[in-house]
Amino acid sequence: MSKKDEGEPEGLALAALGWILSDEDHADRLLALTGVSPEELRERIGERFVLAAILEFVLSHEPDLIACAEALGVPPKALEKAHIALAAPMGDDDWGA
């Protein structure tokens, strides 16, 4: 992952999802904890709320945070910053696009 990707919260969240889904136990735990079906995840993957939830899942367990960050080639802080950016309320300019 390049430095440019570190600055793109959506791309980082999608990369984290790839890391989660590469491991059956992680994937099962994500689905169980969120209550989301695989179909719903596919349908809503572009939503900020869903991307923030993916990063929150990774951030909630420090060993996963460290492993995911290492796999993506970014510092753990980059995942935290991406989560903050995606979880922040959207401004008026973001609505209705």
Tens of pLDDT, residue by residue over 19-30, are 999 999 999 999
Is 92 a domain residue? no
Q: What are the CB-based long-range contacts (under 8 Å, 24+) for 30-37? A: 30/54, 30/57, 33/57
pTM over 0.85: no
- Dump pLDDT digits (tens) for 36-56: 899 999 999 999 999 999 999
C-alpha 83/C-alpha 87 separation (Å) is: 6
Q: Report the candidate in 3, 10, 5 with the shortest Cα–Cα distance to residue 85.
A: 10
Is 93 a domain residue? no
Range of the domain at 30: 3-87
Is 12 a domain residue? yes
Residue 2 pLDDT greater than 60, yes or no = no
In the chain, the number of structural domains is 1
pLDDT band at 31 (very low <50, low <70, confident <90, very high): very high
Residue 90 pLDDT greater than 70, yes or no = no
